[in-house]
Structure 1
Amino acid sequence: MLHYCLAHLAYHFSRQVPKRSRAKFEILVLFLVTVLLFPQIFVLLRPKSSRYCNQPLLINLTSFIILTFVMTGFTVLLTLMDPIPNEVKVAFHVYGVGSFAQGITTTAFTVAAPQCVNTTPELYYLSFVLSVLSVLATVFIGFLIPFWLADIFCTGMVLTQQARDGVCQKPVANYSFLWHV
Protein backbone atom coordinates (compact mmCIF):
# COMPACT_ATOMS: atom_id res chain seq x y z
CA MET A 1 0.00 0.00 0.00
CA LEU A 2 3.07 2.20 0.31
CA HIS A 3 3.36 2.73 -3.45
CA TYR A 4 -0.33 3.50 -3.85
CA CYS A 5 -0.24 5.95 -0.94
CA LEU A 6 2.83 7.79 -2.26
CA ALA A 7 1.38 8.16 -5.77
CA HIS A 8 -1.95 9.23 -4.28
CA LEU A 9 -0.30 11.91 -2.15
CA ALA A 10 1.80 13.12 -5.09
CA TYR A 11 -1.40 13.51 -7.13
CA HIS A 12 -3.09 15.62 -4.48
CA PHE A 13 -0.02 17.72 -3.74
CA SER A 14 0.36 18.39 -7.48
CA ARG A 15 -3.17 19.80 -7.56
CA GLN A 16 -2.06 22.46 -5.07
CA VAL A 17 0.59 23.66 -7.54
CA PRO A 18 -0.44 25.87 -10.50
CA LYS A 19 -0.43 24.02 -13.85
CA ARG A 20 2.44 26.07 -15.24
CA SER A 21 4.64 25.15 -12.25
CA ARG A 22 4.00 21.41 -12.34
CA ALA A 23 7.22 20.75 -14.23
CA LYS A 24 9.14 21.81 -11.12
CA PHE A 25 6.92 19.52 -9.06
CA GLU A 26 7.69 16.65 -11.47
CA ILE A 27 11.41 17.21 -10.92
CA LEU A 28 10.83 17.06 -7.16
CA VAL A 29 8.80 13.85 -7.54
CA LEU A 30 11.54 12.24 -9.64
CA PHE A 31 14.11 13.25 -7.03
CA LEU A 32 12.00 11.66 -4.28
CA VAL A 33 11.55 8.47 -6.31
CA THR A 34 15.32 8.34 -6.76
CA VAL A 35 15.75 8.72 -3.01
CA LEU A 36 13.28 5.86 -2.51
CA LEU A 37 14.89 3.65 -5.17
CA PHE A 38 18.53 4.19 -4.21
CA PRO A 39 18.55 2.14 -0.97
CA GLN A 40 16.53 -0.63 -2.62
CA ILE A 41 18.92 -1.00 -5.55
CA PHE A 42 21.94 -0.56 -3.27
CA VAL A 43 20.81 -3.43 -1.04
CA LEU A 44 19.90 -5.55 -4.07
CA LEU A 45 23.42 -5.19 -5.46
CA ARG A 46 25.22 -5.90 -2.16
CA PRO A 47 27.09 -9.23 -2.13
CA LYS A 48 25.70 -10.03 1.35
CA SER A 49 22.15 -9.82 0.03
CA SER A 50 22.64 -12.96 -2.07
CA ARG A 51 23.50 -15.08 0.97
CA TYR A 52 21.08 -17.69 2.21
CA CYS A 53 17.98 -16.56 4.05
CA ASN A 54 15.12 -18.97 4.66
CA GLN A 55 12.58 -16.35 3.53
CA PRO A 56 12.54 -14.97 -0.05
CA LEU A 57 13.43 -11.43 1.00
CA LEU A 58 15.60 -10.87 -2.07
CA ILE A 59 12.84 -11.89 -4.48
CA ASN A 60 10.41 -9.74 -2.51
CA LEU A 61 12.79 -6.77 -2.76
CA THR A 62 12.97 -7.26 -6.52
CA SER A 63 9.18 -7.14 -6.82
CA PHE A 64 9.15 -4.08 -4.54
CA ILE A 65 11.57 -2.34 -6.91
CA ILE A 66 9.36 -3.23 -9.89
CA LEU A 67 6.32 -1.76 -8.10
CA THR A 68 8.36 1.37 -7.37
CA PHE A 69 9.00 1.83 -11.09
CA VAL A 70 5.29 1.33 -11.82
CA MET A 71 4.53 3.86 -9.07
CA THR A 72 6.78 6.33 -10.86
CA GLY A 73 4.77 5.90 -14.05
CA PHE A 74 1.46 6.36 -12.26
CA THR A 75 2.79 9.38 -10.42
CA VAL A 76 3.84 11.04 -13.66
CA LEU A 77 0.49 10.22 -15.27
CA LEU A 78 -1.59 11.41 -12.34
CA THR A 79 0.31 14.63 -11.84
CA LEU A 80 0.40 15.63 -15.52
CA MET A 81 -3.09 14.61 -16.70
CA ASP A 82 -5.99 16.92 -16.05
CA PRO A 83 -8.70 15.56 -16.04
CA ILE A 84 -7.76 11.95 -15.41
CA PRO A 85 -9.58 9.40 -17.60
CA ASN A 86 -11.62 6.74 -15.79
CA GLU A 87 -9.45 3.97 -17.28
CA VAL A 88 -6.37 5.42 -15.58
CA LYS A 89 -8.28 5.71 -12.29
CA VAL A 90 -9.40 2.09 -12.47
CA ALA A 91 -5.89 0.91 -13.35
CA PHE A 92 -4.50 2.96 -10.47
CA HIS A 93 -6.92 1.44 -7.97
CA VAL A 94 -6.17 -2.08 -9.24
CA TYR A 95 -2.52 -1.21 -8.76
CA GLY A 96 -3.44 -0.18 -5.21
CA VAL A 97 -4.76 -3.68 -4.53
CA GLY A 98 -1.48 -5.11 -5.84
CA SER A 99 0.46 -2.67 -3.70
CA PHE A 100 -1.58 -3.75 -0.68
CA ALA A 101 -0.76 -7.41 -1.42
CA GLN A 102 2.93 -6.50 -1.76
CA GLY A 103 2.86 -4.75 1.62
CA ILE A 104 1.26 -7.77 3.29
CA THR A 105 3.80 -10.09 1.66
CA THR A 106 6.72 -7.91 2.71
CA THR A 107 5.46 -7.73 6.27
CA ALA A 108 4.81 -11.49 6.45
CA PHE A 109 8.26 -12.37 5.08
CA THR A 110 9.98 -9.93 7.41
CA VAL A 111 8.16 -11.17 10.51
CA ALA A 112 9.01 -14.77 9.59
CA ALA A 113 12.70 -14.01 9.00
CA PRO A 114 14.31 -12.73 12.23
CA GLN A 115 17.27 -15.10 11.76
CA CYS A 116 18.09 -13.38 8.45
CA VAL A 117 19.50 -10.45 10.43
CA ASN A 118 22.64 -12.57 10.91
CA THR A 119 23.11 -13.65 7.29
CA THR A 120 21.70 -10.72 5.29
CA PRO A 121 21.53 -7.75 7.66
CA GLU A 122 21.06 -4.98 5.06
CA LEU A 123 18.32 -6.91 3.30
CA TYR A 124 16.52 -7.69 6.55
CA TYR A 125 16.66 -4.12 7.85
CA LEU A 126 15.48 -2.66 4.53
CA SER A 127 12.66 -5.19 4.48
CA PHE A 128 11.80 -4.20 8.04
CA VAL A 129 11.70 -0.48 7.17
CA LEU A 130 9.59 -1.14 4.06
CA SER A 131 7.23 -3.28 6.15
CA VAL A 132 6.76 -0.53 8.72
CA LEU A 133 6.17 2.06 5.99
CA SER A 134 3.69 -0.25 4.25
CA VAL A 135 1.75 -0.78 7.48
CA LEU A 136 1.64 2.98 8.14
CA ALA A 137 0.45 3.67 4.58
CA THR A 138 -2.20 0.95 4.92
CA VAL A 139 -3.48 2.51 8.16
CA PHE A 140 -3.64 5.93 6.48
CA ILE A 141 -5.53 4.62 3.43
CA GLY A 142 -7.71 2.45 5.67
CA PHE A 143 -8.71 5.57 7.55
CA LEU A 144 -9.75 7.30 4.31
CA ILE A 145 -11.66 4.39 2.73
CA PRO A 146 -14.90 4.83 4.75
CA PHE A 147 -15.06 8.48 3.70
CA TRP A 148 -14.50 7.58 0.04
CA LEU A 149 -17.23 4.92 0.17
CA ALA A 150 -19.64 7.26 1.94
CA ASP A 151 -19.01 9.85 -0.77
CA ILE A 152 -19.72 7.27 -3.49
CA PHE A 153 -22.96 5.98 -1.97
CA CYS A 154 -24.24 9.30 -0.57
CA THR A 155 -22.83 11.89 -2.94
CA GLY A 156 -22.35 15.24 -1.25
CA MET A 157 -22.68 13.89 2.30
CA VAL A 158 -18.98 13.83 3.05
CA LEU A 159 -17.66 16.74 1.01
CA THR A 160 -19.11 19.01 -1.63
CA GLN A 161 -16.40 21.34 -2.87
CA GLN A 162 -18.72 23.57 -4.91
CA ALA A 163 -21.19 24.21 -2.06
CA ARG A 164 -18.46 24.05 0.59
CA ASP A 165 -20.65 21.68 2.55
CA GLY A 166 -20.45 18.23 4.11
CA VAL A 167 -19.08 16.40 7.13
CA CYS A 168 -15.46 16.78 6.04
CA GLN A 169 -15.60 20.34 4.75
CA LYS A 170 -14.02 21.90 7.83
CA PRO A 171 -10.99 19.52 8.06
CA VAL A 172 -10.17 19.60 4.34
CA ALA A 173 -11.13 23.17 3.51
CA ASN A 174 -7.49 24.23 3.33
CA TYR A 175 -6.02 20.77 2.58
CA SER A 176 -7.94 19.38 -0.37
CA PHE A 177 -5.00 17.14 -1.22
CA LEU A 178 -6.23 14.84 1.57
CA TRP A 179 -9.13 13.85 -0.61
CA HIS A 180 -9.47 11.11 -3.20
CA VAL A 181 -8.47 10.77 -6.86
Structure 2
Amino acid sequence: MKKLLLVISVFAMLVVGVYAFHDSTPIFVKINNAGYTNGDFLIRYTDFNLEEVNLYVNDEKTESFDYCDSGRNVECDIWADLPDFDEQKIEYFFELIDEDENIQYSNIYSAFVDISDPTISKSSISISGRSMTFNFQVEDDNPLKIEYSDNGKPWKTLCSGNLVINCNKKRYFSKGYHDILVRVSDKAGNYAEESFLVDV
Protein backbone atom coordinates (compact mmCIF):
# COMPACT_ATOMS: atom_id res chain seq x y z
CA MET A 1 0.00 0.00 0.00
CA LYS A 2 2.84 2.39 0.82
CA LYS A 3 4.44 1.66 -2.57
CA LEU A 4 1.14 2.41 -4.31
CA LEU A 5 0.77 5.71 -2.45
CA LEU A 6 4.37 6.59 -3.28
CA VAL A 7 3.80 5.89 -6.99
CA ILE A 8 0.59 7.96 -6.99
CA SER A 9 2.36 10.84 -5.22
CA VAL A 10 5.25 10.82 -7.69
CA PHE A 11 2.83 10.71 -10.65
CA ALA A 12 0.86 13.66 -9.22
CA MET A 13 4.07 15.64 -8.76
CA LEU A 14 5.06 14.99 -12.37
CA VAL A 15 1.67 16.10 -13.69
CA VAL A 16 1.70 19.30 -11.62
CA GLY A 17 5.28 19.95 -12.67
CA VAL A 18 4.42 19.68 -16.36
CA TYR A 19 1.58 22.18 -16.14
CA ALA A 20 3.66 24.53 -14.00
CA PHE A 21 6.39 24.38 -16.64
CA HIS A 22 3.92 25.23 -19.42
CA ASP A 23 2.53 28.20 -17.52
CA SER A 24 6.00 29.46 -16.68
CA THR A 25 6.96 29.93 -20.34
CA PRO A 26 8.21 33.53 -20.66
CA ILE A 27 5.75 36.05 -22.08
CA PHE A 28 6.98 37.50 -25.36
CA VAL A 29 5.90 41.05 -26.23
CA LYS A 30 6.25 42.57 -29.71
CA ILE A 31 5.43 46.09 -30.85
CA ASN A 32 5.43 47.56 -34.35
CA ASN A 33 8.95 48.92 -34.28
CA ALA A 34 11.50 48.65 -31.50
CA GLY A 35 11.18 51.57 -29.12
CA TYR A 36 7.88 52.98 -30.48
CA THR A 37 4.21 52.09 -30.05
CA ASN A 38 0.80 53.44 -31.00
CA GLY A 39 -0.90 51.10 -28.54
CA ASP A 40 -0.76 47.98 -30.69
CA PHE A 41 1.00 45.10 -28.91
CA LEU A 42 1.40 41.45 -29.82
CA ILE A 43 1.94 39.13 -26.87
CA ARG A 44 2.84 35.44 -27.00
CA TYR A 45 2.42 33.25 -23.94
CA THR A 46 1.48 29.81 -22.61
CA ASP A 47 -1.48 29.67 -20.25
CA PHE A 48 -4.09 26.90 -20.33
CA ASN A 49 -6.80 28.65 -18.28
CA LEU A 50 -6.34 32.33 -19.06
CA GLU A 51 -8.90 34.65 -17.50
CA GLU A 52 -7.62 38.15 -18.22
CA VAL A 53 -4.67 40.18 -19.43
CA ASN A 54 -3.78 43.49 -17.76
CA LEU A 55 -1.56 46.24 -19.10
CA TYR A 56 0.45 48.29 -16.63
CA VAL A 57 1.94 51.61 -17.72
CA ASN A 58 4.39 53.37 -15.40
CA ASP A 59 3.45 50.90 -12.63
CA GLU A 60 -0.30 51.62 -12.88
CA LYS A 61 -2.91 49.27 -14.38
CA THR A 62 -4.38 51.08 -17.37
CA GLU A 63 -6.48 48.48 -19.19
CA SER A 64 -7.81 44.92 -18.93
CA PHE A 65 -8.50 42.51 -21.79
CA ASP A 66 -10.62 39.34 -21.63
CA TYR A 67 -10.56 38.16 -25.25
CA CYS A 68 -7.17 36.41 -25.37
CA ASP A 69 -7.27 32.63 -25.84
CA SER A 70 -5.76 29.95 -23.63
CA GLY A 71 -3.19 27.45 -24.85
CA ARG A 72 0.47 26.89 -25.64
CA ASN A 73 2.44 29.62 -27.46
CA VAL A 74 -0.75 31.58 -28.10
CA GLU A 75 -0.52 35.00 -29.75
CA CYS A 76 -2.94 37.77 -28.85
CA ASP A 77 -3.12 41.18 -30.51
CA ILE A 78 -3.68 43.82 -27.84
CA TRP A 79 -4.95 47.27 -28.79
CA ALA A 80 -4.54 49.73 -25.92
CA ASP A 81 -5.89 53.28 -25.84
CA LEU A 82 -2.94 55.48 -24.83
CA PRO A 83 -3.89 59.13 -25.54
CA ASP A 84 -2.81 60.20 -22.04
CA PHE A 85 0.75 59.10 -22.87
CA ASP A 86 1.07 60.50 -26.39
CA GLU A 87 4.53 61.87 -27.15
CA GLN A 88 5.87 60.38 -23.90
CA LYS A 89 8.27 57.58 -23.09
CA ILE A 90 6.64 54.91 -20.96
CA GLU A 91 7.58 51.76 -19.10
CA TYR A 92 5.05 48.95 -19.38
CA PHE A 93 4.47 45.27 -18.69
CA PHE A 94 1.67 42.71 -18.98
CA GLU A 95 0.04 40.68 -16.24
CA LEU A 96 -1.74 37.40 -17.06
CA ILE A 97 -4.21 35.94 -14.57
CA ASP A 98 -5.75 32.49 -15.02
CA GLU A 99 -8.97 31.00 -13.64
CA ASP A 100 -7.12 29.70 -10.57
CA GLU A 101 -5.73 33.20 -9.88
CA ASN A 102 -2.20 32.20 -10.84
CA ILE A 103 -0.32 35.22 -12.15
CA GLN A 104 2.38 35.64 -14.78
CA TYR A 105 4.26 38.84 -15.55
CA SER A 106 6.15 39.87 -18.65
CA ASN A 107 9.43 41.70 -18.50
CA ILE A 108 9.32 45.48 -18.16
CA TYR A 109 9.71 47.29 -21.48
CA SER A 110 10.07 50.92 -22.49
CA ALA A 111 8.66 52.65 -25.56
CA PHE A 112 7.87 56.07 -26.97
CA VAL A 113 4.14 56.53 -27.55
CA ASP A 114 3.02 58.05 -30.85
CA ILE A 115 -0.67 57.81 -31.76
CA SER A 116 -0.76 60.44 -34.53
CA ASP A 117 -0.94 59.50 -38.21
CA PRO A 118 1.61 61.06 -40.57
CA THR A 119 0.40 64.14 -42.44
CA ILE A 120 0.84 64.18 -46.21
CA SER A 121 1.23 67.89 -46.93
CA LYS A 122 2.02 67.51 -50.63
CA SER A 123 1.51 64.65 -53.06
CA SER A 124 1.76 64.27 -56.81
CA ILE A 125 2.59 61.74 -59.49
CA SER A 126 3.88 63.01 -62.83
CA ILE A 127 4.04 60.80 -65.92
CA SER A 128 6.58 60.87 -68.74
CA GLY A 129 6.35 57.95 -71.12
CA ARG A 130 6.52 54.79 -69.00
CA SER A 131 8.02 56.55 -65.98
CA MET A 132 6.19 57.95 -62.95
CA THR A 133 7.79 60.44 -60.60
CA PHE A 134 6.43 60.33 -57.05
CA ASN A 135 6.70 63.61 -55.16
CA PHE A 136 5.62 63.57 -51.51
CA GLN A 137 6.18 65.88 -48.57
CA VAL A 138 5.34 64.48 -45.16
CA GLU A 139 5.06 65.87 -41.63
CA ASP A 140 5.96 63.33 -38.94
CA ASP A 141 8.49 63.22 -36.11
CA ASN A 142 9.18 59.49 -36.45
CA PRO A 143 8.95 58.63 -40.17
CA LEU A 144 9.57 55.05 -41.27
CA LYS A 145 8.86 54.66 -44.99
CA ILE A 146 6.78 55.53 -48.04
CA GLU A 147 5.68 52.57 -50.13
CA TYR A 148 3.29 51.94 -52.99
CA SER A 149 1.14 49.12 -54.31
CA ASP A 150 0.33 48.84 -58.01
CA ASN A 151 -3.04 47.22 -58.80
CA GLY A 152 -3.07 45.41 -55.45
CA LYS A 153 0.39 43.87 -55.85
CA PRO A 154 2.88 43.60 -52.93
CA TRP A 155 4.19 46.84 -51.44
CA LYS A 156 7.39 48.40 -52.80
CA THR A 157 9.39 51.00 -50.90
CA LEU A 158 9.95 54.48 -52.33
CA CYS A 159 11.74 56.24 -49.45
CA SER A 160 12.68 55.35 -45.89
CA GLY A 161 13.94 57.09 -42.75
CA ASN A 162 14.47 60.83 -42.95
CA LEU A 163 14.06 60.75 -46.75
CA VAL A 164 10.33 60.23 -46.15
CA ILE A 165 9.93 63.92 -45.24
CA ASN A 166 10.71 64.98 -48.80
CA CYS A 167 10.46 61.97 -51.10
CA ASN A 168 11.07 62.29 -54.84
CA LYS A 169 11.45 58.99 -56.69
CA LYS A 170 11.05 57.75 -60.26
CA ARG A 171 9.68 54.31 -61.14
CA TYR A 172 8.86 52.61 -64.46
CA PHE A 173 5.54 50.94 -65.26
CA SER A 174 3.99 48.94 -68.08
CA LYS A 175 1.52 50.59 -70.44
CA GLY A 176 -2.09 50.75 -69.33
CA TYR A 177 -4.11 51.83 -66.30
CA HIS A 178 -2.57 51.60 -62.86
CA ASP A 179 -4.40 51.88 -59.54
CA ILE A 180 -1.63 53.19 -57.29
CA LEU A 181 -2.02 53.19 -53.51
CA VAL A 182 0.66 55.11 -51.59
CA ARG A 183 1.15 54.53 -47.87
CA VAL A 184 3.20 56.67 -45.50
CA SER A 185 3.96 54.97 -42.17
CA ASP A 186 5.86 55.90 -39.03
CA LYS A 187 7.86 53.87 -36.53
CA ALA A 188 4.89 53.44 -34.19
CA GLY A 189 2.74 51.81 -36.87
CA ASN A 190 0.55 54.82 -37.73
CA TYR A 191 -0.02 55.46 -41.41
CA ALA A 192 -1.77 57.62 -44.01
CA GLU A 193 -2.74 56.61 -47.54
CA GLU A 194 -3.56 58.26 -50.85
CA SER A 195 -4.68 56.60 -54.08
CA PHE A 196 -4.08 57.56 -57.71
CA LEU A 197 -5.54 56.18 -60.94
CA VAL A 198 -3.09 56.80 -63.78
CA ASP A 199 -2.84 55.86 -67.44
CA VAL A 200 0.65 55.20 -68.77
Which TM-score tier does this pair reach, normalised by the shorter chain? under 0.3
- Comparing both structures, which one devotes a greater share of its residues to strand? 2
- Comparing both structures, which one devotes a greater share of its residues to helix? 1
TM-score by length of 1: 0.24
